[in-house]
């Protein structure tokens, strides 16, 4: 019952170089995750800074963020489809929700866990208020923020695949169409693409950046 690996690779070849189905689907998905991921990182970073520097916001909005983090992003898809009448906007909404909360929590924890000695030294040198936050606390929290970026990507990528199953276009929708036509070789081919994209992003983008950041901050072994 399991599809032939050879036939799956043949479907990969056909989808990219003959019919172009997989080329269009991959381009669509990458465009969506690129925009959604960027928005999630920006929104999450802003929220994380606010929660880390404002006790009132942390005690009120922070509880809401923790609660929303527990809700799977795909749960928002039916609401998004109604709010945005389907299409790309609904999928982007789900991606942003999937990636924002881990980014928010990691930025918040990164700033809150800045060494008190570092903050006291900065205050001794005359840093205070927003200058202390932007020039000392935020740079010191970069390693934690990088973890947030990585988690934001992972959650956003998964949210994209799930949202596209009920949306239009992209790898997720193509996978569902392949299933409906009982083309299991194409299903496996799309699964291979999804896994390969994850590996490329992890080992070719995040790992080199992580090594540079850890070396710069003195955490490298």
Q: What is the DSSP letter of 18?
A: T
Determine contact, residues 157/198, Cβ cutoff 8 Å. Answer: yes
For residue 83 the two structure tokens come to 């709010």
**Span 83-88, average pLDDT:** 80
Q: How confident is the model at residue 199 (pLDDT cuts 50, 70, 90)?
A: very high
**Higher pLDDT pick, 24 / 166:** 24
Determine contact, residues 29/164, Cβ cutoff 8 Å. Answer: yes
Examine the pLDDT at 71 and tell me if it is beyond 90: no
Examine the pLDDT at 3 and tell me if it is beyond 90: no
Structure confidence by residue, pLDDT tens digits, 99-151? 999 999 999 999 988 888 888 888 888 877 778 888 888 888 888 899 999 99
Examine the pLDDT at 220 and tell me if it is beyond 70: no
SS3 69: helix
Structure confidence by residue, pLDDT tens digits, 31-60? 999 999 999 999 999 999 999 988 889 888
Residue whose tokens read 């202390």: 132
| Model confidence, pTM | 0.89
As a whole-number percent, the residues of the chain with pLDDT over 70 amount to 97
**Span 190-218, average pLDDT:** 88
Lowest mean pLDDT among 32-41, 80-89, 91-100: 80-89
SS3 3: coil
For residue 53 the two structure tokens come to 């520097």
| Cβ contacts of 47 within 8 Å, gap of 6 or more | 61, 65, 100, 104, 107, 108
Examine the pLDDT at 1 and tell me if it is beyond 80: no
Quote the pLDDT of residue 72: 85
Structural domains in the chain plus CATH codes: 5-216 (1.10.3720.10)
Average pLDDT, the chain: 88
């Amino acid at each position: 019952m399991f599809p032939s690996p050879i036939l799956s690779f043949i479907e990969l070849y056909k989808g990219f170089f003959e019919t172009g189905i997989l080329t269009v689907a991959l381009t669509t998905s990458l465009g969506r995750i690129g925009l959604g991921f960027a928005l999630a990182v920006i929104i999450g970073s802003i929220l994380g800074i606010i929660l880390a520097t404002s006790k009132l916001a942390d005690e009120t909005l922070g509880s809401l963020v923790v609660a929303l983090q527990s809700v799977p992003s795909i749960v928002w898809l039916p609401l998004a489809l109604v709010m945005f009448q389907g299409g790309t906007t609904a999928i982007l909404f789900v991606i942003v929700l999937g990636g924002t909360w881990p980014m928010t929590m990691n930025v918040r924890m990164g700033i809150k866990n800045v060494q008190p000695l570092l903050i006291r030294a900065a205050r001794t040198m005359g840093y205070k208020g927003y200058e202390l936050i932007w020039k000392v606390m935020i740079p010191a929290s970069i390693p934690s923020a990088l973890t947030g970026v990585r988690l934001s990507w992972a959650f956003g990528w998964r949210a994209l695949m799930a949202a596209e199953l009920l949306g239009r276009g992209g790898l997720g929708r193509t996978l569902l169409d392949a299933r409906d036509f009982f083309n299991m070789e194409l299903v496996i081919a799309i699964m291979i693409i999804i896994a390969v994209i994850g590996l490329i992003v992890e080992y070719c983008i995040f790992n080199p950046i992580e090594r540079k950041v850890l070396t710069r901050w003195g955490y490298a072994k």
